[in-house]
Amino acid sequence: MMERVYNFSPGPSMLAQSVLEKAQQEMVVYGNTGMSVMEMSHRSKMYTDIYDKTVADLRDLMNIPDTHEVLLLQGGATQQFSAIPLNLMVNGKADYIDSGNFAHLAAEEAKRYGEVNIVASSRDDVYTYIPDWKKGAFTPDADYVHITSNNTIYGTRYVELPEVNAPLVTDASSMILSEVMDVSKFGVIYAGAQKNIGPSGLCVVIVRKDLLGKAKDICPKLLNWEVQAKAGSMYNTPNTYGIYLAGLTFQWVKEMGGVAEMEKINIEKAALLYDFLDNSKLFKATAQKEFRSRMNVTFITGDADKDAAFVKAAAAEGLVNLKGHRSVGGMRASIYNAMPREGVVKLVDFMKKFEAENI
Ligand SMILES: *Cc1c(COP(=O)(O)O)cnc(C)c1O
């Protein structure tokens, strides 16, 4: 078998090797059940035990209080762009902070269901920073305020949360479990799984219980959080295998020492890259320093041909998927939880070598 590469893809992205190996061992026969997890009835005790443990481990890892429900739904983060207004727009008004393309898409989708006020935006500056929401005008009777905690394409993150009266809703797809979050500060936290959790298609939705039961009549049943909460995320057949893999990742994060420990490792990994970039004569980080992401590190040489040559040469060394998003170009190293420190060290060593040869 070919050796595994260091995969810097923004998502779907690397999973911990021990998670993949465990899944492989258990693939054909899980425990003493005589069948694969994929073959289990989602209503059987053998499966609901897996489901319950997965949710309990996530509650543990994120210290999720009893005030909040945990849902494991389908349709990725994008499905929630629709579910959020459909479940929360009682007054028909919401505030959005536009800090990146996913934030923009979330706001555009919400406009189909109500009035959307863009409190602040960094769109005109290619989203290189988190816009200054402190100067923005929030709607007094907004049903919620929506933010994107980490902007995957541009490599920026919120360093401070907006203090708002309305429930705060965040898209945490590319940062969940990478740093400690105070769940009690949020009305809703949602995250597509394919960055820090497991396979794509699955979405973790953590919602404050008092926000359930407000869905619009037109809200499809499958998108209705109250319906899903009452059904234990099983109004229809859930993504059983994806949930099982998410559970393996949650166990792995626990073995690594939990989210606080992951955060320490992630700060160190990101610093390795940014320290190099800040002293480089060839490469330059693109996000404003204050808002730099710990998960997605974006950088350029300033010469599109050199960027392309770098991406190609890195791939030949087993450092793959470093090309930036098609909308911004340049490079992006996504260094989620499952990217080991050694992968980042190897990348920095290669960048040094490439710099020496191309300056
Ligand atoms: C990847 C990503 C999405 C899209 O997730 P899907 O699961 O493809 O719908 C949305 N928001 C953010 C911040 C992301 O990083």
What value does the mean pLDDT take over residues 72-81?
98
What value does the mean pLDDT take over residues 197-218?
98
Q: What is the pLDDT of residue 247?
A: 98
Residues 85-137: pLDDT tens digits? 999 999 999 999 999 999 999 999 999 999 999 999 999 999 999 999 999 99
Mutate which of 72, 147, 173, 298 to test ligand 1's pocket (most atoms within 8 Å of Cβ)?
A: 173
Which residue minimizes the CA distance to atom 10 of ligand 1?
77
Give the chain's end-to-end CA distance (angstroms, integer): 37
Which residue minimizes the CA distance to atom 3 of ligand 1?
77
Per-residue pLDDT at 327 exceeds 90: no
Per-residue pLDDT at 264 exceeds 90: yes
What value does the mean pLDDT take over residues 162-185?
97
User: Which numbered atom of ligand 1 lies nearest the CA of 80?
Assistant: 9
**Which structure tokens are listed for 335?**
């260094």
C-alpha dihedral, 151 to 154 to 159 to 164, nearest 10°: -50
Rounded to whole angstroms, how far apart are CA atoms 8 and 21? 20
Per-residue pLDDT at 1 exceeds 80: no
Which residue minimizes the CA distance to atom 5 of ligand 1?
77
151 Cα: distance to centroid of ligand 1 (angstroms): 10
- 114 Cβ below 6 A of ligand 1: no
Per-residue pLDDT at 331 exceeds 80: yes
What is the pTM assigned to this prediction?
A: 0.98
Residues 215-259: pLDDT tens digits? 999 999 999 999 999 999 999 999 999 999 999 999 999 999 999
User: Which numbered atom of ligand 1 lies nearest the CA of 149?
Assistant: 13
H helix runs in the chain, sequence order: 17-26, 45-62, 76-88, 101-110, 225-230, 240-255, 259-279, 304-316, 341-358
Mutate which of 78, 178, 332 to test ligand 1's pocket (most atoms within 8 Å of Cβ)?
A: 78
Q: What is the pLDDT of residue 274?
A: 98
Burial tier of 10 (Cβ tally within 10 Å: 0-12, 13-18, 19+): buried
108 Cα: distance to centroid of ligand 1 (angstroms): 15
